[in-house]
């Protein structure tokens, strides 16, 4: 069965520093309904090849076999890190680790593949990874010209989603939340709802919206901006109502995790979130957050 969202977030935070990698394992909470408690586990994952160095970790996904897929950015490392790649080598370490890493729950590395230039159209900035029930792996990028690409679990290229924007400098790019033909700055995050045959894309690094496409045909179905606003009302004029938008996996209860700015809420996939619903949930979340972060003396 799929690991829970909390478990996924937990592993994500830990693998982000996987060079000295460790993970936090859950232990019994103090109360049945209380928050989960965790302890540091320095044994996870098992040691990687000694010459590998990791760049930024920009994606984590737990598949139906509880295998953990990690997306690494090899391009983050340069000649000051990759001494082993110099001609002649300047040191015994390091080389950039592959972009896609698959681990089992024990922390054993099962598969690894991919790097800049691995296939034509490989993302310039690897960003988000997920799998489907057939075991295919999807990765995307978050730079102009990037899109979602589909591979077998062993790294054989299958297809791409398309809708690539122009590969232009970020400076000077302008938001356009109304058009749905292009992903102007790639993909912030994405996930599949295979039962509904839908692909959810968070378009949140330039635009401020969530888009839903037919996962079989690629056709656009619907979308919304922050607070569930229609795309026609999502623009740059006036104060922005959300800084960024992310999207996470569809849970077993059929709901989608939507993260808007610093807020977390649950959205029915077919409906989006109404303005009233968001304000209510956001106020509840903010009250809880404030109560947890304010010192007891009120300062």
Q: CB within 8 A of 240, min separation 6: which ones?
A: 208, 226
Count of domains forming the chain: 1
pTM exceeds cut of 0.85:
no
* Distance separating alpha carbons of residues 27 and 205, to the nearest angstrom: 36
Residue 240 lies in a domain: yes
Which value, in Å, is the radius of gyration of the alpha carbons in the chain? 20
- Give the closest residue to 15 by CA, choosing from 52, 49, 75, 55: 55
Residue 189 lies in a domain: yes
Note down the domain range covering 242: 5-250
- pLDDT tens digits in sequence order for the chain, 299 residues long: 343 333 333 333 333 334 344 555 555 445 467 777 888 888 889 999 989 999 999 999 999 999 999 999 999 988 777 778 777 887 888 889 999 999 999 999 999 999 999 999 999 999 999 999 999 999 999 999 999 999 999 999 999 999 999 999 988 899 899 999 999 999 999 999 999 999 999 998 899 899 999 999 999 999 998 778 889 888 754 334 444 445 555 555 555 555 555 444 445 444 555 556 656 766 665 666 555 544 444 44
Q: CB within 8 A of 168, min separation 6: which ones?
A: 144, 145
Is 28 in contact with 38 (CB distance < 8 Å)?
no
Residue 262 lies in a domain: no
Decide: helix, strand or coil at residue 286: helix
CATH of residue 185: 2.120.10
Residue 106 lies in a domain: yes
Residue 289 lies in a domain: no
Residue 299 lies in a domain: no
Residue 11 lies in a domain: yes
Residue 199 pairs in a beta bridge with 192, 213
Q: What angle do CA 24, 263, 25 make, to 5 degrees?
A: 10
Backbone φ/ψ region at 117: left (φ over 0), alpha (ψ -120 to 50), beta: left
Residue 275 lies in a domain: no
């Amino acid at each position: 069965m799929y690991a829970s969202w909390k478990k996924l977030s937990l592993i994500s935070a830990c693998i982000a520093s996987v060079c000295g990698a460790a993970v936090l394992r859950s232990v019994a909470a103090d109360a049945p309904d209380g928050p989960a408690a965790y302890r540091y586990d320095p044994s996870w994952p098992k040691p990687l090849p000694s010459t590998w160095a990791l760049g930024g970790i920009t994606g984590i996904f737990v598949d139906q076999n509880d295998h953990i897929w990690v997306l690494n950015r090899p391009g983050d490392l340069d000649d000051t890190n990759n001494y082993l790649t110099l001609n002649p080598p300047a040191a015994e370490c390091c080389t950039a680790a592959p972009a896609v890493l698959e681990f089992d729950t024990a922390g054993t590395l099962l598969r690894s593949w991919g790097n800049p230039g691995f296939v034509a159209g490989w993302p310039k900035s690897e960003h988000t990874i997920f799998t489907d029930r057939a075991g295919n792996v999807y990765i995307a990028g978050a730079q102009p010209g990037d899109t979602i690409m589909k591979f077998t679990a062993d790294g054989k290229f299958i297809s791409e989603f398309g809708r690539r924007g122009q590969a232009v400098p970020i400076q000077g790019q302008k938001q356009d939340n109304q058009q749905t033909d292009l992903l102007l700055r790639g993909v912030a995050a994405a996930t599949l709802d295979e039962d509904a045959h839908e692909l959810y894309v968070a378009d949140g690094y330039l635009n401020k919206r969530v888009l839903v496409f037919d996962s079989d045909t690629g056709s656009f179905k619907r979308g919304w901006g922050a607070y569930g606003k229609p795309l026609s009302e999502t623009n740059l004029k006036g104060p922005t109502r959300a800084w960024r938008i992310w999207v996470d996996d569809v849970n077993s209860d059929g709901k989608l995790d939507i993260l808007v700015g610093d807020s977390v809420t649950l959205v029915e996939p077919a409906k989006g979130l109404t303005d009233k619903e968001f304000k209510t949930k956001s106020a509840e979340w903010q009250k809880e957050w404030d109560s947890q972060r304010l010192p007891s003396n009120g300062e």
